């Protein structure tokens, strides 16, 4: 009996060890390039690196990915090109729904190409290629299943178009101009932007009919209003889905608003900005203000090596009568930044929000908000904060203000907080999320703050509608809370446009807007120089809510389950915008993901 017990324990431990080894060999599928090409997280860093692309052995599939030719398979199965594309649409969706974020085991065959390594892929001991084959979505070992023809009949009823983001024209799926487009995707007509134009070569006969049908089906993603004035507050938003290339022409409404306020300054302009990109119209306006006797002061971010993130910053500094930056020999402050983006005009107005004074911000290329507040009292509070920095007190060296924090402006109640003194996420924002009843919507550059992430999970569990749109740049970083939130059932979409989702905002219950320069991170709350507003105003909150939901509809639902490269074919416009979107030193076609 004793020997039996020992043997039983040994066998149990062996089985447990074998199970652990089996589970540890499983890896997460990050992306479906096409149904037979998967990107798998072998090194567990939640981003796709070199040598993590796997081609599924002996499996041939159709796809809407225009990067790959499917002419050979189309001919083998005696299909029309448009039938192959529609089958690809169904196949991509089936594969993404089935395998994205699933754990898989991979058995390499030993064959490989410069693009990928060939392997058999298993999901819960089931052969992934067999699953695709049995459901009629692929040719496996030279055969198709009985369901293939049924799927083909369904595919023939689907209408698709190719949208070229660079030209904003849409094509039939057989159009040679659409198929060779550098920055294009295949979508259904109902998902076309309202201002997209038909290709005159492939839609010339049915141009009018097609245009009318498209407008009727696209009604759900009509652009939302992007500007509202409510008494003493002017609130502006920028749309990253419509501006696909930055410029310095100052043609956007946010830039024109800042230009108007600089031109109207009589006595003082205090600027606390992260950095500066040359925008000629604004640069001239600052110079003219100084010429007419306006006192211009500026504080900005600089590293301990005397470098600024934006190389034109010194051009603006040269116009100022007083300036300072947060360069500090204190090693405790070297990782902190002066991240504010505010102006105080004549001690009467404050211009603030999430927008950097850069081409990507001022042109409306990035998604941002800009707020103009007419209030002497709020301007006094911001001036006090500015004065500490102009005198050399940055980051944790600043003192907490004794002035009032909350002000009533017409129908709006505004509370002002500064980082790192006020610990605003811990002391204010989490409480707003904890007491939310209807919804919490967050358009934000990133989210890494653990306490806020847990508050959002708790809100979702008690029935609150929680949704987040996060920028692609940081969505896969090891610190990002995106996967934690998704795994807890919180819907998080990663934007798929060239511009950044640069907002740092929260909208709650048709009542509150939280916004400013602070990212939703520990650094934003506890290290950097930041300013945050909590605005209580029903009309403004509903305005921002509608804009958020408009963006939510424009971003495909598949990005609820997978992330997007900041620069690559899936990121609309990123391969033609002239910007290094993922900060790897390579722009557009020089980046491998765009080729």
> Which among 445, 461, 565, 583 has a CA at the least distance from the CA of 505?
445
Task: Judge whether 172 counts as a catalytic residue.
Answer: no
Place of tokens 């806020």: 452
- The answer to whether residues 318 and 334 touch, using CB atoms and an 8 Å cutoff, is no
Q: How far apart are CA 469 and CA 499, in angstroms?
A: 13
Predicted model pTM? 0.79
Residue among 467, 502, 511, 569 flagged as catalytic: 502
Beta-strand relationship, 322-325 and 295-300: parallel
Q: H helices within 391-490, ranges in order?
A: 424, 430-434, 450-461, 482-487
> Which among 475, 531, 203, 173 has a CA at the least distance from the CA of 350?
531
What does the pLDDT read at residue 209? 43
What does the pLDDT read at residue 416? 98
Long-range pairs, 148-157, Cβ under 8 A, ≥24: 151/87, 151/90, 152/79, 152/83, 152/87, 154/90, 155/83, 155/86, 155/87, 155/89, 155/90, 156/83, 156/86
Task: Judge whether 502 counts as a catalytic residue.
Answer: yes
Assigned token pair, 330 = 């204190």
Q: Give a three-class secondary structure readout of 376-388.
A: HHHHHHHHHHHHH
Q: How far apart are CA 427 and CA 295, in angstroms?
A: 36
Could you state, in order of their start, the residue ranges of all structural domains in the chain? 20-155, 161-221, 227-560
Tens-level pLDDT at each residue, the chain (595 residues): 556 666 556 555 555 444 444 445 799 898 888 999 999 999 887 777 778 899 999 999 999 988 788 889 999 999 999 999 999 999 998 998 899 888 999 999 999 888 889 999 999 889 999 999 999 999 999 999 999 999 999 999 999 999 887 777 899 998 988 888 777 888 888 777 767 889 988 876 544 444 434 443 333 466 678 899 988 999 999 999 989 999 999 999 999 999 999 999 999 999 999 999 999 999 999 999 999 999 999 999 997 666 788 989 999 999 999 999 998 645 455 689 999 999 999 999 999 999 999 999 999 999 999 999 999 999 999 999 999 999 999 999 999 999 999 999 999 999 999 999 999 999 999 999 999 999 999 999 999 999 999 999 999 999 999 999 999 998 888 889 999 999 999 999 999 999 999 999 999 999 999 999 999 999 999 999 999 999 999 999 999 999 999 999 999 888 998 888 899 888 999 988 999 998 888 898 888 888 7
20-155 placed in CATH 2.40.50.90: yes
Assigned token pair, 553 = 């509809």
What does the pLDDT read at residue 407? 97
- The answer to whether residues 239 and 555 touch, using CB atoms and an 8 Å cutoff, is no
Residue among 270, 277, 471, 509 flagged as catalytic: 509
Q: Which CATH number fits domain 227-560: 3.30.870.10, 3.40.190.80, 3.30.60.50, 1.10.10.10?
A: 3.30.870.10
Residues 6 or more apart in contact with residue 566 via CB below 8 angstroms: 471, 472, 473, 574, 581, 582
Going from the C-alpha of 426 to that of each of 136, 233, 241, 336, the distances in angstroms are 52, 26, 32, 19
Residue among 504, 511, 527, 569 flagged as catalytic: 504
What does the pLDDT read at residue 570? 85
- Report which secondary-structure segment, H or E, holds 367: none
Backbone angles phi, psi at 533, to 5 degrees: -110, 140
Task: Judge whether 400 counts as a catalytic residue.
Answer: no
Going from the C-alpha of 352 to that of each of 119, 339, 410, the distances in angstroms are 53, 12, 19
């Amino acid at each position: 009996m004793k020997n039996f017990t020992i043997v039983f324990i040994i066998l149990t431990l062996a089985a447990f060890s074998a199970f652990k080894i089996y589970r540890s060999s499983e890896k997460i599928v990050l992306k479906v390039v096409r149904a037979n090409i998967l990107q798998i997280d072998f090194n567990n860093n939640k981003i796709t690196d070199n040598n993590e692309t796997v081609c599924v052995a002996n499996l041939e599939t159709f796809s809407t990915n225009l990067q790959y030719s499917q002419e050979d398979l189309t001919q083998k199965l005696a299909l029309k090109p448009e039938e192959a594309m529609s089958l690809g649409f169904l196949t991509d969706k089936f594969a993404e729904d089935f395998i994205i974020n699933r754990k898989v085991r991979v058995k390499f065959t030993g064959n490989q190409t410069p693009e990928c390594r060939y392997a058999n892929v298993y999901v819960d001991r089931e052969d992934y290629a067999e699953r695709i084959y049995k459901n009629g979505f692929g040719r496996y070992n030279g055969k198709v299943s009985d369901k293939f023809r049924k799927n083909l009949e369904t595919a023939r009823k689907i209408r698709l178009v190719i949208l070229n983001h660079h030209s904003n024209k849409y094509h039939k799926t057989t159009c040679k101009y659409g198929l060779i487009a550098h920055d294009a995707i295949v979508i259904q007509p109902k998902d076309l932007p309202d201002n997209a134009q038909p290709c005159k070569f492939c839609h010339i006969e049915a141009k009018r009919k097609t245009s009318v049908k498209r407008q009727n089906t696209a009604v759900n993603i009509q652009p939302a209003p992007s500007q509202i004035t409510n008494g003493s507050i002017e609130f502006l938003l920028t749309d990253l889905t419509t501006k696909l290339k930055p410029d310095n022409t100052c043609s956007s409404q946010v830039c024109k608003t800042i230009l108007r306020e600089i031109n109207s300054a009589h006595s003082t302009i205090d600027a606390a900005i992260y950095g500066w990109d040359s925008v000629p119209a604004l640069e001239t306006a600052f110079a003219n203000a100084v010429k007419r006797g306006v006192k211009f002061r500026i504080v900005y971010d600089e590293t301990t090596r005397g470098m600024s993130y934006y190389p034109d910053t010194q051009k603006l500094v040269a116009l100022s009568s007083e300036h300072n930056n947060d360069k500090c020999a204190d090693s405790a402050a070297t990782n902190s930044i002066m991240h504010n983006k505010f102006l105080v005009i004549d001690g009467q107005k404050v211009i603030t929000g999430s927008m950097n004074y850069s081409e990507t911000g001022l042109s409306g290329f990035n998604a941002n908000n800009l707020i103009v507040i007419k209030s002497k009292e709020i301007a006094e509070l911001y001036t006090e904060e500015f004065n500490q920095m102009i005198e050399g007190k940055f980051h944790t060296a600043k003192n907490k203000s004794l002035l009032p924090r909350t002000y009533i402006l017409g129908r709006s109640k505004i509370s002002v907080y500064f980082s790192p003194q006020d610990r605003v996420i811990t002391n204010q924002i989490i409480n707003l999320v904890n007491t939310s009843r209807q919804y919490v919507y967050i358009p934000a550059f990133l989210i890494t703050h653990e306490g806020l992430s847990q508050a959002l999970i708790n809100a979702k569990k008690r029935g609150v509608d929680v949704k987040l749109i996060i920028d692609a740049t940081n969505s896969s970083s090891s610190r990002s809370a995106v996967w934690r939130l998704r795994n807890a059932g919180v819907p998080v979409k990663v934007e798929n446009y060239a511009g950044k989702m640069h907002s740092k905002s929260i909208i709650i219950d048709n009542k509150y807007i939280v916004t400013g320069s602070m990212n939703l991170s520990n650094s934003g709350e506890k290290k950097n120089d930041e300013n945050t507003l909590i605005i209580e105003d029903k009309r403004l909150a509903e305005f921002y809510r509608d804009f958020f939901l408009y963006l939510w509809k424009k971003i495909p639902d598949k990005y609820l389950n997978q992330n997007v490269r900041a620069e690559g074919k899936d990121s609309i416009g990123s391969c033609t915008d002239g910007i290094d979107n993922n900060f790897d030193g390579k722009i557009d076609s020089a980046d491998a993901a765009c080729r």
